[in-house]
Amino acid sequence: MADAVEVSGVCKRFGSLQALDNVSLSIQEGEFFGLLGPNGAGKTTLINLLSGLARPDAGRLSILGRDVVTQYRASRRLLGVVPQELVFDPFFTVRETLRLQSGYFGLNHNDAWIEEVMHNLDLTDKADTNMRKLSGGMKRRVLVAQALVHKPPVIVLDEPTAGVDVELRQGLWRFIQRLNHEGHTVLLTTHYLEEAQALCNRVAMLKRGSIVALDTMQNLLRRVAGCRVRLRLAGPLPAAVEPYLSEQADGEHVLALPGFRALEEVLAALRTSGLAIQELVVEQADLEDVFLQVVAAS
Amino acid sequence: MKTGFYSLFYKEVLRVKKVAFQTLLAPVLTSLLYLLIFSHVLERHVEVYPGVGYTAFLIPGLVMMAVLQNAFANSSSSLIQSKITGNIVFVLLAPIAYGEFFAAYVLASVVRGLVVGAGVLVAAMWFAVPPVDHLQWIVLFAVLGSALLGALGMIAGIWSEKFDQLAGFQNFIIVPLTFLSGVFYSIHSLPPFWQGLSRFNPFFYMIDGFRYGFFGVSDVSPWLGLAVVGASLAAITLLTLGLLRSGYKLRI
C-alpha cells in the first residue's frame, strides 16, 4: 500500500538559497504528522511542492502513490491544503466560496457536506456573508473549510491556528482529530509546539532545508532527559541547590535537573535547610525542549 | 470524470455579475459618449462608405472596440487581482488542467465582451440603426476577436506583477492597436504608408470583418480577415497554454 505522503530526495533552490536539500520522508495513512522548524527552514516550501504550487528541482513527491508532477490532477484530488496566508476572494459569500471550491474539484452537488463542514467550523451563521466582512478568525475558518470541501484523504495544515482565538483552535482541533480518527492523514506545521505535542504521532524537524530529526513524538521526548523545577521558598536558595539554578525572577527559582536522582538531592537539601516551600512545580521536558536542543545541535 | 472547468467559468461570470455596474454598464456608457461626440461633430462632414451615414458607420466599430477591450479587461483584471490578493492559490491547488484553466478564462471573457457589445449596439440604435448584411460574420468576428483578446488578457495578467504593469500593457499596446484599427475611419482614408502599416495590425482585421457583417463592404476581404484573426488566435492560444503549462509567474 502506498504511503499517504512520500518525499524522496527533494531539492529546491531559490536563487542562492537552498530552500530544501535532499529531503526524504514518508507519512503513512492515518498518521497525524508534524512538520516543525524555525522560520525559513523550508516547511512551507515542502508543502508548496506537495500541493503543486512549486516544482522540485530534483526528487519525487507523491500523494497516495500519485506523483505530484506527472499525475498532478490525481494527486491534487487527494490533497486538501490550508494555506498559511489569510487569502480570500472578496467577491463572494462564504457559501459561494465553498461551492466554487467544491466545483473546482468536480463536485457540483456537494451541499450536504458543505453544510456539515460549515456547521463543524461554526460558519453556518455567516454562510451568506461576504468574505470581506468576516473577521480574521472567521476567514481562517473558511480557509480550513475550503481545504476540506472535497473530503481529501490527506489534509495539510500550514500554520492553521496562527492568530486565531482559543475557541476556534479548540473547535478546529476537535474537527481535525475527528477526521484523523476517521482515517484522514494530517500533516501539520505550527509554531505552537504544545499543539504539535498534543496532536502529532510523529514529527520531522527541518532546519535550513534539511531534516534534522524524524521520529515518533515519544522517542523525541525521550531524547531530552531530566526535568525543570519551579520553586518559591520562604528564604534564599540553599547553596547545595545553586548549581542547578537556570533562571531566577520575582522570587521564583527555576532549576534544570539532569534526572530524577537530582530531584531527590534537591528535595533533601531543601529539607535540611529547613526552609518552607511556598510553591513547587515539577515540569517534564516537552517538545519545545527537544526542538531547541535539536535545532541548536544541528 | 467531472472537471473544474465549469466552476471556474461560472466563478468568472459571477464575478462580472457582482460588479456589473463597473464591468457592464460603465463600458456601454463610455462607448455611447464616443458615439455622441464623434457623430455630432462628423456626421455631416464624413461619408466613409457610399450611402452610409458616419454614425451608422461608427456604430459597428465602437461595438467591436467595446467587445475587444472588455474581453481583455476581464481575464487580465481577474488574474492580476487574484495574484495580488493571493486567492489564485485556490485555483492552483485544484485539479484543473491547463486547457480547462485557459478555456474558462477565455470563455468568460467572450461572454463579457459579447454582453457589453450587445449593450452598446442596443443603446446606439437610439442614434442610428445600421443594417445587418451578414449576421454570421458579425457573430464570428465578435467571438473570435473576444477570444483573442481574452487570451491576450491572460498573458497580460500572468506577466504583470502589479497593476501598473497591467495598465502599461493596456495603455501602450491594446488601446493604441484598437484606436489605430479603423474604429473611427476606413484605412482607405489614410496615406499609403499608414494604410500599409495598418495591415500589420490584427485589430484592423477584427474591426473590418465585423463591420463587413453589417454593411457588406470592407477594406479587405473578410476571408483574409478571418485567416489573420484565426492565425493570431491560434498563436496566442499556444503561447498562453505554454505559459500555463510552465507555471510562468504562477507556480514557483
* Residues forming a β-bridge with A232: A279
CA distance B187 to chain A (A): 42
Sequence-distant (6+) residues with CB within 8 A of B209 are B137, B140, B141, B218, B222, B225, B226, B229
User: Do residues A198 and A266 share a domain?
Assistant: no
What radius of gyration, in Å, describes the C-alpha atoms of chain A?
23
Decide if B146 contacts B68 (C-beta within 8 A): yes
User: Do residues A98 and A214 share a domain?
Assistant: yes
User: Do residues A232 and A274 share a domain?
Assistant: yes
Distance of alpha carbon A245 from alpha carbon B108, whole angstroms: 69
Please report the pLDDT score of residue B1 as a whole number. Answer: 46
Distance of alpha carbon B25 from alpha carbon B115, whole angstroms: 10
User: Do residues A74 and A46 share a domain?
Assistant: yes
Residue A65 pLDDT class (50, 70, 90 cuts): very high
Sequence-distant (6+) residues with CB within 8 A of A73 are B95, B96, B97
Q: Grid coordinates standing for A95?
A: 457559501
Decide if A205 contacts A37 (C-beta within 8 A): yes
Q: Grid coordinates standing for A132?
A: 470581506
Q: At residue A37, what are phi and psi to the nearest 5 degrees? A: 165, 160
State the first-to-last Cα distance of chain B, in angstroms, to the nearest integer: 28
Q: If chain B, 252 residues long, is cut into consecutive pieces of 10 residues, what is the mean pLDDT of each piece?
A: 83 94 90 85 71 86 94 96 94 94 97 96 90 94 97 96 93 90 82 86 94 92 96 97 94 88
* pLDDT tops 60 at residue A183: yes
User: Do residues A201 and A104 share a domain?
Assistant: yes
Q: b vs e for A277-289, b when ≥16 Cβ sit within 10 Å of the residue's Cβ?
A: eeeeeeeebebeb
CB contact under 8 A, A87 and B86: yes
Which of B239, B172, B180 lies closest to B205, judged by CA? B180
CB contact under 8 A, A91 and B247: no
Q: Provide, as residue numbers in chain A, all residues whose Cβ is less than 8 Å from the Cβ of B247.
A: 55
DSSP per position, chain A: ---SEEEEEEEEEETTEEEEEEEEEEE-TT-EEEEE-STTSSHHHHHHHHHTSS--SEEEEEETTEETTTTHHHHHHTEEEE-SS----TTSBHHHHHHHHHHHTT-SS-HHHHHHHHHHTT-GGGTTSBGGGS-HHHHHHHHHHHHHTT--SEEEEESTTTT--HHHHHHHHHHHHHHHHTT-EEEEE-S-HHHHHHH-SEEEEEETTEEEEEEEHHHHHHHS--EEEEEEESSPPPTTTGGGEEEEETTEEEEEESSHHHHHHHHHHHHHHTPPEEEEEEEE--HHHHHHHHHHH-
Distance of alpha carbon B139 from alpha carbon A294, whole angstroms: 68
* pLDDT tops 80 at residue A199: yes
List the single best residue of B9, B11, B13, B82 to mutate versus A (max A Cβ within 10 A).
Answer: B11
CB contact under 8 A, B251 and A88: no
The CATH number assigned to the domain holding A180 equals: 3.40.50.300
Q: At residue B248, what are phi and psi to the nearest 5 degrees? A: -50, 120
Query: What pTM was computed for the model?
Result: 0.87
Decide if A244 contacts A266 (C-beta within 8 A): yes
Better pLDDT: A241 or B3: A241
Tell me, yes or no, whether B226 lies in a domain: yes
Q: b vs e for A126-142, b when ≥16 Cβ sit within 10 Å of the residue's Cβ?
A: bbeebbeebeebbbbbb
Which of A207, A222, A237 finishes a domain? A222
Give the structural domain span for B105. 5-246
Which residues of A sit within 8 Å Cβ distance of B?
14, 48, 51-55, 72-74, 76-77, 79, 81, 83, 85, 87-92, 96, 99-108, 146
Tell me, yes or no, whether B159 lies in a domain: yes
Which of B48, B113, B40 lies closest to B76, judged by CA? B113
User: Do residues A126 and A209 share a domain?
Assistant: yes
User: Do residues A232 and A183 share a domain?
Assistant: no
Q: Grid coordinates standing for A61?
A: 513527491
User: Do residues A59 and A145 share a domain?
Assistant: yes
**CA triplet B59, B60, B63: central angle to 5 degrees?**
85
Domain count, chain A: 2
Question: pLDDT tens digits for A49-64?
Answer: 999 999 999 999 999 9
Question: pLDDT tens digits for A125-171?
Answer: 999 999 999 988 889 999 999 999 999 999 999 988 877 788 888 88
DSSP per position, B175-186: HHHHHTTTSSS-
CB contact under 8 A, A76 and B247: no
Tell me, yes or no, whether B251 lies in a domain: no
Domain count, chain B: 1
Distance of alpha carbon A80 from alpha carbon A149, whole angstroms: 8
Which of B1, B94, B251 lies nearest to residue A76, judging by beta carbons? B94
Q: Grid coordinates standing for A57?
A: 528541482
- Tell me how far CA of residue A123 lies from CA of A126, A161, B212, in angstroms: 5, 16, 55
User: Do residues A168 and A267 share a domain?
Assistant: no
Please report the pLDDT score of residue A1 as a whole number. Answer: 67
User: Do residues A274 and A151 share a domain?
Assistant: no
Amino acid at residue number B123: A
User: Do residues A162 and A228 share a domain?
Assistant: no
Please report the pLDDT score of residue A167 as a whole number. Answer: 80
CB contact under 8 A, B85 and A102: no
CA distance A211 to chain B (A): 22
Q: Can you say whether the dihedral through the CA atoms of A58, A64, A70, A72 is positive or negative?
A: negative
Q: Provide, as residue numbers in chain A, all residues whose Cβ is less than 8 Å from the Cβ of B87.
A: 87-89
Please report the pLDDT score of residue B150 as a whole number. Answer: 97
Please report the pLDDT score of residue A136 as a whole number. Answer: 87
Amino acid at residue number B39: S
Q: Provide, as residue numbers in chain B, all residues whose Cβ is less than 8 Å from the Cβ of A105.
A: 4, 94-95
Better pLDDT: A187 or A235: A187
User: Do residues A278 and A251 share a domain?
Assistant: yes
Give the structural domain span for A260. 224-285+292-297
